[in-house]
Each structure stands twice: as structure tokens, then as C-alpha cells.
Amino acid sequence: MLIDFEQIEAKVIPHMRDGEGEAILRMHVDGENKIMQGLLAPGCSIGLHTHETNSEIIYILSGSGKALCDGVYEPLRAGSCHYCPKGHAHSLINDSDGDLTFFAIVPEHGA
């Protein structure tokens, strides 16, 4: 199955998970997975949240920023891959002067 993010309408989500600013996401959701291309402008973030029934893999396409995962900050740059396992908490933060673009997959694992 081909997912063409250019053919998916971008959704602007203000204060995603109580984060700062807005996240711009193009998402394919099928009940088993969320597959996303996202952008955080400078100063924007996705707030701290726990993955209760799923996990998340985030691959940084361009820019830089950081993830807060289980209380530890992890620097991110193009080519970095951040993983948040089921039962763990994380956030994604663009603390740079440029856009942070990423590709993310959120597979469901059940309760």
C-alpha cells in the first residue's frame, strides 16, 4: 500500500497533548497503526504523554530538537530515531531556530 503524504490533508493541531504552539500532521490511520509526517515550527512541541496501549517510533527527517523520554532529554537531529515503548512517557520539542520535520509510526498493541 502506497501512502502519499502529499495527497493527505495537513491537520493543524494547536497545543497537541498540551504542548506549545501547533503541530502540523499528515496522517494515515487504519485502526492498527497511525503513520504520520509532521512538522513542528521553532518553539513548538508535542506535550508529555504516556503510551498506554501503543508505542511510537519517530524518525527525524530534517531540523533538530529534543525528546523528553521518561525524564531524560535526548538530542535529536536529521537521521535520529527516537523510540517510546508501550507504558512509557515522552514529548517532542523543537528548541531550534528552524522547522523540525519527522516521520512517526504508532502501532497499537492493545490494553
Does residue 16 form part of some domain? yes
Does residue 74 form part of some domain? yes
HEC sequence for the chain: CCCCHHHCCCEEEECHHHCCCEEEEEEEECCCEEEEEEEECCCCEEEEEECCCECEEEEEEECEEEEEECCEEEEEECCCEEEECCCCEEEEECCCCCCEEEEEEEEECCC
Number of domains forming the structure of the chain: 1
Does residue 84 form part of some domain? yes
Does residue 4 form part of some domain? no
Does residue 110 form part of some domain? no
Does residue 3 form part of some domain? no
Q: Using the predicted structure, report yes or no on whether residue 27 has a pLDDT greater than 90.
A: yes
Write out pLDDT tens, residues 40-81.
999 999 999 999 999 999 999 999 999 999 999 999 999 999
What pTM does this model have? 0.95
**Residue 44 lies in domain:** 10-104
CATH number for the domain spanning 20: value is 2.60.120.10
